[in-house]
Structures are given as structure tokens and as C-alpha cells.
Structure 1
């Protein structure tokens, strides 16, 4: 989730356990604790472009790391903030702990993948029930935090936390509805999916990107799930087969190893870019939910050497041009 939402949820949860005279300090410590796990983005290397993919949402986001992560936050923040509000170290720890504890769980609600159970498991947990950015999550939390700190009444923040829980539950319902539509769509095409997922599109829970794999091919569509469901038919592309698609790639080369690292990161939703035979894309993300134009990829460069890494690339595209189409999908309108 975006840093503002992470901080807002951390602050809101911390405020639910604060006394009236503690509210301002609790909000600050909870917010900073809620954002702290994303400091793992600093773990990166100019020589290895994929290193940050392995460590972002890794150990700092694990449920088992919460007590230690909260302690590290408190060691830094108590002297800077906690003491200024008259808190004991133990109280600063409580508020940092409550904020820190929300982070991994909130990230797992999105589609990116979070190592919640590291080091017991390296599975990337993604419940696909919230978009990475969603104002219906963030704005009520921010408004409730301001109101609670100004009025010294916790009623607003309790309502905001209850709203968050309700909205997450709604996301689960919407995801399941979208998956049901996608299963029916696959059956109508004569396909028996090997796997199928529905992921919320940008900033809403009305339109989901559905991806299913059948016969080594990915099929991408968008599904509007309002009062009635509507399918926006998308595209298909063959699943990456290294021996077929990258015959020049030596199996013991660094680039071959990087492809497998990228496969783990993307949960094996990999395909070859149709416009570049040496680019491998992550099928899970695109500007429009019925597109296969990926937001990020890795670029390979033949010949494969023992040391050369792949290049990691971001593809922003024209987001302004995509927004009217996404809005039309959200309203259930027909599109060209």
C-alpha cells in the first residue's frame, strides 16, 4: 500500500489504545511505525537490479519480525518523539508496535505479494482485495485521525477502523464475484484454467483484472462487478517457456538465474513481450485491466555471460489517456 495509507492505518490503530492526553504522540508514533517496514527499499544494489525485488516486503514485513521491528523503531523514536510527549519507553513501544503490526497485513491485502511468514515460508502472500492506492481507504482514516487528535475523542477513529474492516470485507466479496465471472468466461471459451486470479484495478473495487492460465496461455480480461457484472474482453499471450522463447539463454548464466528470481517475484505470471523478444514481462499489472502491457519487466541481452545481470525496467505508459477508459469500466459503460 502507499506510504500515506500505511501511516494512516498505523496511527489510527495506535489511537484506539491511547488516552486523551496521549493522542497526539500516539498518532505520530503509530504513523511512523506503520511506515517503517518500507525502509527495506533501501536494500538495493547498482550491480544487481533485482536485489530490491527480493528484499522489499520481505523480513521487515514478516509477522514474526513485528516485535523486533517495533523495538528498533522505539529505540530511534522514543528519544525524538516519545519523551517530548512524556511517554515512558514502554508506552512508546506499544504505539510503535501497534503501528508496525498493521503494515505487513495491509500490504498482504494488495496484489504485490508479501512474505508474511518469513523465514518459515518464502511464499508471497497476496489476498487481492485492495488496490495499491484507494482513496476510500486513506481519506476516512486521515479525517478520523485529525478529528480525534483535535477533539480528544476516539469515536471518529473507532468508526474509521470499523469502516476499514468493512471495506476490506467488501473487497473480499468483490474479488470472489470477479473470479466467479472469470470462471464462467473461461468455461464459455472451452477452457479449463490451471489457475485463475482477480485483482482490483487502480483505486477502486468495482473493476478487477482477471488473469487465468489455460494450456500454457494467459488470458487477460477486465470484469466490472457492480449490481450487474460486465466483461471487458482483453488479450492473451503465451506463458514464458525459456527453452522455446529464449533458446540462446545458457542455463547456468546470471541472466537465467535472474529470470528465475523474477519468476518467483511474479508468482510465475511471466510472458515474453510481444514487441521485444528479449523482454520478459510481469503479467499481473497494467494501466488498463484488460491489457497485457506490463508496468514492469526485465530486459535480457544476448549473449548470456556468467556475470551479466538483466536490466529491470518500469513502463509507466500514458496514465492520463488510460483514466477515461478505466472510468468508463468503473461505471459499466461500453468502450470501443
Structure 2
């Protein structure tokens, strides 16, 4: 999830663990703990694109990381707050839950997390977008209300508990919505007489009303969208896999790692003699059916006997265009 959401969740967890003893400091340090795992984004500045992508939501988002660093960070915080009525163990417990709940929340997103690192299994429920106002905004409001209550106040604890209950219930609701959307896509495929190998579904950006689907067939991938407010049947658009365009590059180590990162959900495109590796899991960069630019696309540049992988940039104008089309599409087809 986005940094703001992780700060809010970390603050709520910190308050739950230690708020009664140290007041708003528990929220403050919980918020810090909730953001630490995302420092893995710094790897992009000193690692190649493929390695940085592999590291994202890897080691720093694992149970092992939480267990290893919680007592270290807890000791540092304890040293800074010796006057507070909280022990090293108390602070370590707060840091652990702040670190651990971060990847648990991220597991609900499309990218997922390697919660069980060093195992390469990525846990991804794909039921919320990385930014979801319906999860974050009510949580923020409730947490702010709690901040202005006395540290020993019963109302303070009730506010935080309410925030955790509402946000957690929403996550469970998204799993139910995902299941319903999956059934809708499956029924539509049956109506069209389409056989498929596998399918995954995910919410469109910023909401859980509009859902997207990737469907694998023998020769192509189908992509479709469904809003709970739709009145017309679901339509699908086909994208050829073009895996053969890789040729001998398919045995290249970087390509193998990219395929593993995407869990096999990728297509190869060619433009002006240039090959692009496109990650299907996050869909196109817009809702325009004529657009062929994927949200995560990598240019494969020959570099002697090897290749360089360059992530294609995303621009503000693309985000604005996507937001406008999403708003219209959410209200039905």
C-alpha cells in the first residue's frame, strides 16, 4: 500500500500495543515502523532494474526481517525514551507489530509480498489497489480523533479499535467482491465459448467497484473489465503473447528473472525494431482500448552479448488521463 496508509496502520498498531503507557509517542514510533519496510525502494538507485524489482517487497517485507530488526529498533527507541514507563521489550514488541503488519497489508495488493522470504513464494491476494481511499480515509479520521484523547481514556482505545475493525472488515469485504467479480468473468467466458488456462482478477486503481481480469489462453491473453454498476455484457480484448519474439533471449538470466517476477503473466511487443517486455498484472496505462502501453513495461536493450533492461517511465499526463476514464467507467458500461 502507499506510504500514508502504512503510516496510519503503523500508528494504530503502535497505539494498541503501547499507547496507554506512552501516549502519542506510540503512534509516532508505530508510524515509523510502518514505513521502514518500504525503504527497499532505495535499491533502485544502486542496483540494476531487474535486481531492484526482485528486491521490492522481498527481504524487508518478510517475517524474518520483522523478527530480526524489531529488538534492534526497539533498543534504539528505548534508549531515546528512557524516561517513559516502557521497557526495551515493550518497544521491541511495538516495532515488531509495526514492521509485520506492513507486509500483511501489502499482501492484499497486486504486487504482493515475499512474507516467507527467503522462499520466493509471493503472497498476493490482489483484492485492493495500492492506493484505496475507502481503506485509508476513514482510518485517518478515527485515528485523529483518538490522538486528542487522554492516553488512559477508554474512548481513545475504542476509537483505535474501531479503526482497526473497520479497516480489517473492509479488507475481508474486498476478498468477497473479488470472488463475485471472478464469477462474473467466468460466466462471461462461458457465454462467449472461450476456454482458458488460468485467470486472475484485480481491482482497478483507487476503488473496488471496477474490476479487471487477465485470462490466459493457448495463443493469447484476454483482458476485460467489469463494474458492479454495469448493464451490458463483459467484453474481452485479445493480446498475442509473442513470446517467440524473444528468440535466444529467453535463456538470458535477466529475462528468466523477469518472467519469474511476473509469474508468467507477460507479453512481448515490438516497436521500430525494439523489443519490450510487458508485465500484464497491472494492465494498460489507460482505459483506452487502442492504447498498447502497459503500466509496467521494460525496454530490452542489446548490450554486447548481454542485454540491459530499462523500465519505461510513467508521466503525470497518463495518470490524469487514467483517472478521468476510470471515473466514467466505474459508473457502468
TM-score clears 0.5: yes
- CA offset digits 1:205-243 (Å, max 9, x no partner): 0001111101131111111125x67555352212242xx
1:270–1:281 contact (8 Å) kept in structure 2: yes
The 5-angstrom pairing of residues 95-134 of structure 1 reads: 95-119=94-118, 121-134=119-132
Task: Give me the TM-score of the superposition, normalised by structure 2.
Answer: 0.88
2:109–2:124 contact (8 Å) kept in structure 1: yes
Deviation of 1:106 (Å): 0.5
Match of 1:197 in 2: 200
1:283 maps onto 2:280 in alignment: yes
The 5-angstrom pairing of residues 1-336 of structure 1 reads: 1-44=1-44, 46=46, 48-80=48-80, 82-83=81-82, 85-119=84-118, 121-152=119-150, 153-226=156-229, 233-241=235-243, 244-247=244-247, 249-250=248-249, 256-273=252-269, 275=271, 277-285=274-282, 286-288=284-286, 293-302=293-302, 305-316=304-315, 318-332=318-332, 334=333
Partner Cα separation in structure 2 for residue 85 and residue 309 of structure 1:
52
Is there any run of 5+ residues in structure 2 with no aligned partner, and where? 151-155
Partner Cα separation in structure 2 for residue 72 and residue 238 of structure 1:
50
Partner Cα separation in structure 2 for residue 230 and residue 33 of structure 1:
46
- CA offset digits 1:165-217 (Å, max 9, x no partner): 11011100111111111111222222221110110111110001111101131
Partner Cα separation in structure 1 for residue 189 and residue 10 of structure 2:
40
1:10–1:31 contact (8 Å) kept in structure 2: yes
1:36–1:112 Cα change, 3 Å? same
Partner Cα separation in structure 2 for residue 207 and residue 32 of structure 1:
33
1:306–1:83 Cα change, 3 Å? farther
Partner Cα separation in structure 1 for residue 238 and residue 159 of structure 2:
47
Partner Cα separation in structure 1 for residue 275 and residue 51 of structure 2:
20
Is there any run of 5+ residues in structure 1 with no aligned partner, and where? none
Question: How many residue pairs get matched?
Answer: 323
Partner Cα separation in structure 2 for residue 222 and residue 250 of structure 1:
33
SS at match of 2:214: strand
